């Protein structure tokens, strides 16, 4: 492969932060989600960090793995110090946000629901916000409060960032409908409408003609 062709296929690591910054800002504007600059900056840093698999996954004897969210929560709550507890809750929130935002399509084939990640991540950030609302951590506490309050809309924005050309199967449409029912995701609603489905809360869907 020629160097020119390779450069078109692979995004240089040095440009990742700028790519995520522009992509996230555009997605937030499209979703009409207004957050503080420091919150947007935090999420950009998170995306840049977790683009490296060694930062996202934990090293185990079986290879790179993600700890179950309930294990992360248990370890955070049982931590010996407040700092370790905060670090554990922060990782739980960060991982939940990233996985729900970037791997939403795979939830249709897994037992663990996207709304579980949204609930766990939102609660972790809320606990951090409460803990850090005073003293030196006030600014970061505000970031976590904003992420907690806007967890679902932020997941929708990250879905926009991660989505490329993707064809939705019947199973995917049903999964989008389930996610919309459980989380009220505006993005899921709009995708369903775009696919010719009229979502209803009466327990069914109507296909537009």
d(CA 54, CA 63): 11
Q: How confident is the model at residue 207 (pLDDT cuts 50, 70, 90)?
A: very low
d(CA 90, CA 86): 6
More confident residue, 125 or 21: 125
Residue 7: what pLDDT?
38
Average pLDDT, the chain: 80
Residue 112: what pLDDT?
59
Residue 18: what pLDDT?
84
d(CA 115, CA 123): 12
In three-state secondary structure terms, 65 is: strand
Kindly state the tokens that stand for 183: 């989380």
Listed in sequence order, the DSSP H helices in the chain are: 3-9, 16-31, 37-50, 53-56, 69-77, 82-102, 114-131, 138-149, 151-162, 170-183, 186-194
**Residue 198 bridge partners (DSSP):** 206
d(CA 158, CA 167): 18
d(CA 88, CA 2): 44
183, 118 in Cβ contact below 8 A? yes
d(CA 156, CA 115): 12
Kindly state the tokens that stand for 193: 């409408």
Residue 134: what pLDDT?
72
* Model-wide pTM > 0.85: no
- Cα of first residue to Cα of last residue in the chain, in angstroms, is 47
Residue 174: what pLDDT?
66
Mean pLDDT over residues 81-86, rounded? 94
Mean pLDDT over residues 142-164, rounded? 90
Q: Which of 15-24, 165-174, 189-198 has the lowest mean pLDDT?
A: 165-174
Taking CA atoms, 32 is separated from 28, 29, 114, in Å, by 6, 5, 22
CA nearest neighbour of 102 among 42, 163, 146: 163
In three-state secondary structure terms, 60 is: strand
d(CA 85, CA 72): 10
More confident residue, 115 or 179: 115
DSSP conformation class of 81: S
| Residue 78 pLDDT exceeds 90 | yes
Percent of the chain with pLDDT over 70: 76
Q: How confident is the model at residue 107 (pLDDT cuts 50, 70, 90)?
A: low
**Residue 199 bridge partners (DSSP):** 205
């Amino acid at each position: 492969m020629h160097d020119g062709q390779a450069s078109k296929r692979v995004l240089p690591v040095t440009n990742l932060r700028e790519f995520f910054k522009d992509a996230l800002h555009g997605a937030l504007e499209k979703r009409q989600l207004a957050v503080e600059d420091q919150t947007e900056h935090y999420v950009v840093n998170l995306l840049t960090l977790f683009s490296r698999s060694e930062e996202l996954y934990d090293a185990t004897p079986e290879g790179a793995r993600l700890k179950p969210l309930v294990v992360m929560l248990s370890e955070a709550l049982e931590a010996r110090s407040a700092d370790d507890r905060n670090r554990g809750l922060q990782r739980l929130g960060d991982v939940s946000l990233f996985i729900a935002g970037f791997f939403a399509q795979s939830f249709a084939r897994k037992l663990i629901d996207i709304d579980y990640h949204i609930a766990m991540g939102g609660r972790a950030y809320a606990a951090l916000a409460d803990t850090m609302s005073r003293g030196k951590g006030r600014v970061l506490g505000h970031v976590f409060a904003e992420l907690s309050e806007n967890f679902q809309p932020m997941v929708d924005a990250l879905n926009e960032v991660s989505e490329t050309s993707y064809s939705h199967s019947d199973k995917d449409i049903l999964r989008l409908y389930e996610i919309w029912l459980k989380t009220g995701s505006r993005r899921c609603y709009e995708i369903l409408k775009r696919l010719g489905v009229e979502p209803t809360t009466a327990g069914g869907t109507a296909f537009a003609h």
